Structure 1
Amino acid sequence: MVMTSEFISTLQRVENVSHLLSKMGESTVDEAVQRIESICAFMERYGDLGEIFEHFKELESKLFMCREMLTVEEAAEYIGVSKSQIYLMTSNREITHFKPRGKFIYIERKELDDVLRRNVIYSKHEMNRRAAAETMADLSKGNRKAKKGTGK
């Protein structure tokens, strides 16, 4: 009796897999196995479905970063500061912002990228490269002045 129920259970699983494969279209068995393995790897990575849903919620909440115009809340999250810091930056006119209806503030993402690039601190390598380029430019200017002074 136990073997019969196991056999029926196995047949049912085979039938379910067959049904699944038929829904996948003209895929080969190897492609189906690869898809199933990738799903299994994904499940192992995130554990249970609850963790997967949390991961998707987090991704969904970050999708705003793809838009060009962000709200104050989104801007604050984008550059990692508080909303009050964003309001302070807008009231001090440190960043360009828009108020299309007079109330809600919108900020361009590229403006926020510029904020993140302020107060740059160059590496030693970059400082040496810039110094060399400036020296070459000065030498070039000096050569031009010398040529003008000799009448050539």
Structure 2
Amino acid sequence: MDNIELEQRLDRIERLLIANKEVLTFEEACEYMGISRSFLYKLTSTRKIPHSKPNGKMIFFEKKKLNVWLLQNGRKSKEEIESEALKYSLNNNTK
């Protein structure tokens, strides 16, 4: 097994371990969300993302809260909008 293949397998194992954790460190949160360290620092310093600093230094993130944050401001698909419009027009026509 060559080094590249071994590194790829280790990366997959690390991602699986992170996926099973409920609380993530700063580095793990960056990896989990696919964002840079500087962007995450900006989000935490402006308090735009939920996080904890139990000892005033290290930053931790609850994965459930990160998921909620990541999925905020969702956009509906064209099909969802058309379906809602049809339901709305049918409800208004029966009144």
Normalised to the residue count of structure 2, the TM-score between the two structures is 0.77
**Cross-structure match for 1:118:** 72
The residue aligned with 1:103 is: 57
Tell me which of 2, 18, 24 is aligned to 1:70: 24
Structure 2 alignment gaps of length 5 or more: none
1 CA distance for matches of 2:18 and 2:85? Answer: 40
Q: 1:61 pairs with 5, 9, 14, which one? A: 14
Q: Percent identity, please.
A: 36
Q: Which runs of 4+ in 1 moved over 6 A?
A: none
Select 1:90's aligned residue among 17, 35, 44: 44
Structure number with higher relative contact order (C-alpha < 8 Å, ≥ 6 residues apart): 2
TM-score (norm 1): 0.52
Amino acid at match of 2:57: K
> Quick one: distance in 1 between partners of 2:90 and 2:58?
50
Counterpart code for 2:8: H
Larger radius of gyration: 1
5+ residue gaps, structure 1: 1-48, 144-152
How many correspondences in the alignment? 93
Contact persistence 2:43–2:49 (CA under 8 A): yes
RMSD over equivalenced CA pairs, Å? 2.3
Are the structure 2 counterparts of residues 133 and 86 from structure 1 closer, same or farther at C-alpha, using a change threshold of 3 Å? farther
Counterpart amino acid of residue 58 in structure 1: D
Cα drift, residue 73 of structure 1: 1.2
The Cα shift of 1:127 comes to: 0.7
Over residues 92-148 of structure 1, what are the superposed CA-to-partner deviations in whole Å (9 max), with x where a residue is unaligned?
1111111122211101112221232133222110111222344456x3xx95xxxxx
Q: Which residue of 2 aligns with 1:127?
A: 81
Which one has the bigger helix percentage? Answer: 1
